[in-house]
Structure formats: structure tokens, C-alpha cells
């Protein structure tokens, strides 16, 4: 007989998509942890093991995998040792645990006694034959007769049987670093589907997270080796389901026309979210859901990761970014921060503050309440921070309450975005400083407060610019910054039909390009270089038809935008010397270079003085048909390495950790 070595189990979970089952292996570290708990906890009650970076709990006794932060069907978990694969299966499928034990026992006897050609019957009357350690097969019983046929070969093609996970072609995922440096909440946009394949926000954020893990390995290797960097956790925030559970769908159903059925349902499910957001009834539901969900996730995350010391950032896609923007503009900063925001201009809590409140009440014909406000020491600034609840507590009846709230919202809306015209004009100066931190959108909603101050706000494919314009905001005061969040990036794909820029609203008089997001492998995308190179080459050839081809060739290989690319080469210098004579060959280049260099453009304090608008580079195929790729452009952010890398770079920069090699074109 031979030497028998026990099989090494690996843990799998069952992924069900449209009734199709697929068994997915846990990462090596998760599987080891499960095996350890399985070995230790036989007598105890239900042992719970956190897996997949703490986003799923496995209940060992019931063999279930349960999502922690969002709702999801529970998946079956299995401790796998033996697998089979039929003709039509493209992946190996694990046998049940009890039958695997029988197989293992038969295998052990066969090895120790050296007796092969062992025959076993599976629970549903199928036959497994162990010919030798390398060849083990599984036969289907013949459907026609109940008797076992002596020659199993007649029973159609057998299935292959394998022992141990190392013998089946399956990719065991890499585990995730245990240390979490930063938490990012991701809020989805319109409708329940987040990308072109109609996947949910959970799946899209999973992609984003996976891309971020590979980007960390590629671009933060040094920091990872020195253990400065673990990973960033991305958690999805779902609000669509709670909006559509208000019974509004049934009402819509009644009034929806029967023609072009699918299109109308698509519109009811998606584009209508925008209208819902603009109606005060549903807007309140949406902002409440988003804020309470983000606070709930934050609390739960801290409970599960008590040692977490990192910051929290937030990201929103399309309408999600607008919801976050409105929430963030309505956060209340600490008083000392308000002072900073006022930046030395006269603040409103000056001695005449309460006098101003009297004036306002007089204007609203509510003079009889002056004493109440005086007793509560309400100056103008305090009045503008009032919520309905505060006024109610002060004993102001409903009618006057409504008048005061309407006045507050109309004033803040009108004046927040006014730019102080001149230093002498104190009235607008006061306005721009005191109301700087309480803008209200046109939709009057009571905006909840978040439990934390976000480090950075990332907007992907965002219509913020368009919505502000529609709400009558002409421009954003360069001194304005979000009360509790110092960073703001607006990232979009050039063909995204929903995306709008922000910077021109801060600097309306200057025309300038957005920042080009560096390709994650450095340089520009090859086809963009080709496109620019070919354009230059044709200009050179036209102007100097008889000129040597060498000059043209050099102009083709010349690196594109000076400000974007690092260092010029000798060939470039030569090429430039060769083309110096034709001054009209490249009339557009010098200004382009100027536009690209960030220090010349001051885009205000919304992103702490840094640039806000970042545009992705399109893929070669996309530039052939912009319309065809428009929808895809709006949904491409989840798997875009360039987007993920910018997010990681900015997050880690706040902790003083930089990329291994700075990318060309990045600030």
C-alpha cells in the first residue's frame, strides 16, 4: 500500500445568478480562518467568521454566508474536498460534505491497501469508480432500467472526479489587506441599475473595490512594503428601493400609457428619479434615506472595526452626486470654522445683530414675536440657522413659522452665490460671509446632518453644474467651500451625456480646459498620441511638401503636450529646430501648454484651491462614434482604472503617502 495523506479542504460559497449556480472559492486566508473555526468550534453554538474584508459573515453551523452592510440573498457555504465536472459544465462542482467524506474514506482504504477500481454509489444512485489516484470517474445511471448495467462505459460520457482543490483549475482569489486606511461611501445615481449590464450598486462597487486593490499593488508598492498602506474600503449606499417602496410605483402604473411598454417602464424606473428629487415630498425621503443610510453604515463599520483611525470620504454617481452635494452644502460647520470662512470680513453677529432680526420680523408683519427672539438672543446669523423644530420649540405658531422659514430659504438661496462686488459694498460682503455656509437648493427640504466630516467628495458623471444653473445659480463664489468637506473632485467621461463642468461657474470669464486624467499606465492613451501626432504630421507635410521626411517623422514621434509630458528629449529638440522655420505649423501649441499648467488658474476654495474638473481619456474605439458610446460613457466609472487611481491618489495624499512614480499630467 501507499502513504495516505489527508485531503486539504477549501471553503467555497454558492453564487446564484438567474437560477444558475456557481461555486466560488473563498480567498486562502478566509478559507484558513473558516477551517480553523470549524476545527475549534465543533461543540460550540453558531460560530460567526467575518470574510471578504469583513463585508460578509459566515455562520458556520448553518453554513450560510450573510451580507453585513446591505441586503442580499443568503448564500450556501461548503467545506469542499471532492469535485466533479460533467461534459456540459465548464467549472468543477463540489460534492456535498457528507458524500465527500465517503469518497475520502474509500480513497484512503484504496491508497493504504493499494486496492483500486473501487466502486461507490452516490446518494442519487450514481456510480463513482476510483480506477487509480489520477483517474476517477462518475457515471450516470441508465434511465431505462433499474438494474445496474455491468459495463458502465455504455452509460454515456462519464464525469471527471478530482480530489482536492489543487487538482481543479480554479483561481483562488487573493485576500485583501486587513488594515483599512480610509472608508468611502458610494451613492448611486438614477434607477436601480448602475451600469450598462444592469447590475446593482453592490456589484458595481465590488468592481470599483477590486480595481482599487490592483491599483494599490501596481502604484503603491513601496508604501505597501513599508506597511504604510493597507486598503480603502468602498461601501455602497442604496436609496432607490426605499423611494420606490413609498407606493408611488403603483400610482405611476395607473397613469402610464400602455404603448411602448418597455421604454415607459425604463423611464418610470430611472429618469423619473430626477423629477422625484425635484419634488419636495420625495426629495425629503431621498435625502433622509441617503443620510441615515450613510450614518448607519458608518456606525456599523466602526462597531466592526473598532481600531479604525482613518478618514471617511464620499462618492456619488450622476444623481447620487447631486444628492450628496445638496447634503454637504447644508451641513453645519463648527462655529470656529465659520469664523475662518468669513475670513476677516464683518461677521453678522455684530452688536446690531438682534436689531436686524427686528427689522426682518417687522418686514414679515410679525413684530409681536420680537420679544421671543430677543429673549432667545437670536441675531441674524442664528435666525438663518433656524429649523422648523427650533421655531416650534420657541412657541412660534405654524403660520408665522412658515413665513419665517420661507424668508430664510429665499434669502439664502438668492444671496449665497452673490459674489462680493467691491470691498466697499458691505451688505453683500456680510451676506457672502455669513450665509456662505447655508445654501439651500430650490427644493426646500430639511437636510439631515452626517455623523462625520468627509475628507473628500468625489462626483462621477455628475449633473451638479446643470442643476445649479437650472435653480438660478449664476455663479459660485470663489470663496465658497463646503462647510464640512474640504476636497471636491468632479470626474467625467468626455462623452457622458449627464456630466457637466463646475469650474466655469466659479471662473466664468476665463475659458480653460479641464484637467486630463493621466492614464494609469502613464502617458496618454496611444490612440490620442497617434491622433495628435498624425494631425501634426499632416500640417508639417503640407507646409513643407518637399522638406525631408525626417522632419515630419520627428514631428510625429514628438511627445504631445509639453505641460503633460515629463522632460523633452534630444530628438524633440532636433525636431523643433527642424520645424522652427515654419512658425505657422503649430499655432495652437503654446496656449495649450499654458492652459494645462494649473498654477495659472485660480478655481476658488471649493477644492481647497486645487483644480476640480477632471476628464477621462476615451478609449480608441469610443472616438469613432460618440453617440454610440454616450450611455456607456455615463456608466464607465466603475471599472475605470484612471478614476480609481485618482481617488486613491487624493485619499492617500491627505495621509502624506504618494504614488511610487508620479503620473505625468497629474498635479
How many angstroms separate the CA atoms of 575 and 238, rounded?
55
How many angstroms separate the CA atoms of 662 and 568, rounded?
17
Question: How distant, in Å, are the alpha carbons of 379, 424, 630 from that of 89?
Answer: 74, 79, 37
How many angstroms separate the CA atoms of 429 and 560, rounded?
45
Among residues 459, 438, 314, 441, the alpha carbon closest in space to that of 387 is found at 438
Based on the number of CB atoms within 10 Å of its own CB, is 111 exposed (0-12), middle (13-18) or buried (19 or more)?
A: middle
CA dihedral 555, 558, 560, 565 (to 10 degrees): -160
How many angstroms separate the CA atoms of 186 and 293, rounded?
11
How many angstroms separate the CA atoms of 472 and 414, rounded?
9
Among residues 662, 646, 644, 634, the alpha carbon closest in space to that of 607 is found at 646
Active site residue 318: yes
Provide the grid cell at 566: 515629463
Q: Residue 574's CB: how many other CB atoms inside 10 A?
A: 14
CB 465 within 8 A of CB 405: no
Q: Which contacts qualify for 526-535: CB closer than 8 Å, 24 or more apart?
A: 526/620, 527/619, 527/620, 527/623, 528/560, 528/617, 529/560, 531/623, 532/560, 532/561, 533/557, 533/558, 533/560
* C-alpha torsion sign, points 320, 321, 322, 324: positive
Burial 604-623 (b: 16+ CB within 10 A, else e): bbbbeeebbbbbbbbeeebb
Among residues 62, 82, 83, the alpha carbon closest in space to that of 74 is found at 62
Whose grid coordinates read 453617440?
A: 627
Chain-centre distance for alpha carbon 258: 36
Provide the grid cell at 637: 466609472
User: Which residue is catalytic, options 31, 200, 318, 481?
Assistant: 318
How many angstroms separate the CA atoms of 312 and 298, rounded?
9
Whose grid coordinates read 482536492?
A: 164
CA dihedral 490, 495, 499, 502 (to 10 degrees): 50
Laid out side by side, the sheet with 20-25 consists of 20-25, 10-17, 75-80, 64-67, 56-59, 48-51
Q: Residue 165's CB: how many other CB atoms inside 10 A?
A: 22
Question: How distant, in Å, are the alpha carbons of 84, 123, 160 from that of 139?
Answer: 11, 13, 9
Pairing label, strands 180-187, 93-94: unpaired
CB 175 within 8 A of CB 29: yes
Active site residues: 318
Amino acid at each position: 500500500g501507499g502513504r495516505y495523506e489527508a485531503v486539504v479542504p477549501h471553503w467555497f460559497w454558492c453564487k446564484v445568478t438567474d437560477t444558475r449556480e456557481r461555486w466560488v472559492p473563498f480567498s486562502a486566508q478566509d478559507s484558513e480562518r473558516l477551517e480553523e473555526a470549524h476545527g475549534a468550534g465543533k461543540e460550540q453554538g453558531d460560530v460567526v467568521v467575518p470574510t471578504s474584508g469583513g463585508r460578509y459573515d459566515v455562520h458556520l453551523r448553518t453554513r450560510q454566508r450573510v451580507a453585513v452592510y446591505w441586503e442580499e440573498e443568503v448564500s450556501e457555504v461548503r467545506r469542499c474536498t471532492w469535485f466533479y465536472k460533467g461534459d456540459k459544465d465548464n467549472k468543477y462542482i463540489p460534492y456535498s460534505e457528507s458524500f465527500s467524506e465517503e469518497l475520502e474514506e474509500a480513497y484512503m482504504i484504496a491508497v493504504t491497501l493499494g486496492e483500486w477500481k473501487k466502486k461507490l454509489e452516490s446518494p442519487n444512485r450514481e456510480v463513482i469508480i476510483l480506477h487509480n489516484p489520477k483517474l476517477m470517474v462518475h457515471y450516470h445511471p441508465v434511465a431505462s432500467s433499474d438494474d445496474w448495467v455491468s459495463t458502465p462505459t455504455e452509460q454515456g460520457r462519464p464525469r471527471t472526479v478530482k480530489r482536492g482543490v489543487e487538482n481543479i483549475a480554479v483561481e483562488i482569489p487573493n485576500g485583501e489587506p486587513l488594515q483599512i486606511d480610509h472608508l468611502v461611501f458610494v451613492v448611486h445615481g438614477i434607477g436601480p441599475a448602475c451600469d450598462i449590464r444592469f447590475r446593482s450598486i453592490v456589484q458595481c462597487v465590488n468592481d470599483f473595490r477590486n480595481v482599487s486593490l490592483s491599483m494599490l499593488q501596481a502604484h503603491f508598492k513601496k508604501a505597501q512594503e513599508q506597511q504604510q498602506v493597507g486598503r480603502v474600503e468602498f461601501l455602497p449606499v442604496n436609496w432607490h428601493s426605499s423611494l420606490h417602496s413609498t407606493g408611488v410605483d403603483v400610482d405611476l402604473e395607473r397613469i402610464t400609457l400602455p404603448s411602448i411598454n418597455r421604454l415607459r417602464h425604463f423611464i418610470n424606473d430611472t429618469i423619473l428619479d430626477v423629477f422625484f428629487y425635484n419634488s419636495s415630498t420625495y426629495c425629503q425621503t431621498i435625502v433622509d434615506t441617503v443620510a441615515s443610510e450613510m450614518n448607519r453604515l458608518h456606525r456599523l463599520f466602526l462597531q466592526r472595526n473598532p481600531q479604525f483611525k482613518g478618514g471617511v470620504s464620499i462618492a456619488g454617481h450622476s444623481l447620487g452626486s447631486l444628492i450628496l452635494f445638496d447634503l454637504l452644502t447644508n451641513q453645519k460647520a463648527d462655529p470656529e470654522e465659520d469664523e475662518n470662512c468669513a475670513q476677516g470680513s464683518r461677521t453678522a453677529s455684530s452688536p446690531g445683530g438682534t436689531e436686524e432680526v427686528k427689522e426682518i420680523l417687522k418686514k414679515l408683519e410679525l413684530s409681536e414675536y420680537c420679544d421671543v427672539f430677543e429673549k432667545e438672543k437670536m441675531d441674524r446669523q442664528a435666525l438663518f440657522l433656524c429649523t422648523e423644530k427650533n421655531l416650534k420649540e420657541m412657541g412660534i405658531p405654524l403660520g408665522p413659522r412658515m413665513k419665517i422659514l420661507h424668508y430664510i430659504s429665499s434669502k439664502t438661496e438668492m444671496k449665497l452665490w452673490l459674489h462680493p462686488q467691491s470691498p466697499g459694498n458691505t451688505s453683500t460682503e456680510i451676506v457672502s460671509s455669513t450665509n456662505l455656509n447655508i445654501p439651500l437648493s430650490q427644493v426646500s427640504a430639511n437636510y439631515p446632518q452626517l455623523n462625520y466630516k468627509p475628507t473628500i467628495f468625489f462626483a462621477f458623471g455628475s449633473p451638479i453644474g446643470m442643476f445649479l444653473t437650472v435653480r438660478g445659480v449664476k455663479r459660485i463664489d470663489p470663496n465658497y467651500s463646503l462647510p464640512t468637506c474640504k476636497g471636491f473632485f468632479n470626474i467625467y467621461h468626455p462623452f457622458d451625456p449627464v456630466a457637466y463642468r463646475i469650474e466655469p461657474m466659479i471662473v466664468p470669464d476665463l475659458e480653460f480646459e479641464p484637467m486630463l486624467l493621466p492614464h494609469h499606465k502613464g502617458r496618454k492613451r496611444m490612440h490620442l498620441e497617434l491622433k495628435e501626432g498624425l494631425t501634426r504630421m499632416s500640417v508639417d507635410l503640407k507646409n513643407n511638401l518637399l522638406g525631408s521626411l525626417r522632419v515630419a517623422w520627428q514631428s510625429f514621434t514628438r511627445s504631445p503636450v509639453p505641460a503633460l509630458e515629463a522632460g523633452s528629449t534630444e530628438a524633440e529638440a532636433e525636431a523643433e529646430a527642424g520645424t522652427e522655420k515654419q512658425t505657422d505649423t503649430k499655432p495652437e501649441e503654446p496656449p495649450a501648454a499654458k492652459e494645462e499648467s494649473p498654477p495659472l488658474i485660480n478655481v476658488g476654495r471649493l477644492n481647497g484651491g486645487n483644480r476640480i474638473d477632471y476628464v477621462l481619456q476615451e478609449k480608441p474605439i469610443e472616438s469613432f462614434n460618440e453617440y454610440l458610446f454616450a450611455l456607456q460613457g455615463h456608466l464607465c466609472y466603475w471599472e475605470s482604472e484612471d478614476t480609481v487611481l485618482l481617488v486613491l491618489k487624493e485619499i492617500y495624499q491627505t495621509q502624506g503617502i504618494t504614488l511610487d512614480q508620479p503620473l505625468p499630467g497629474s498635479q
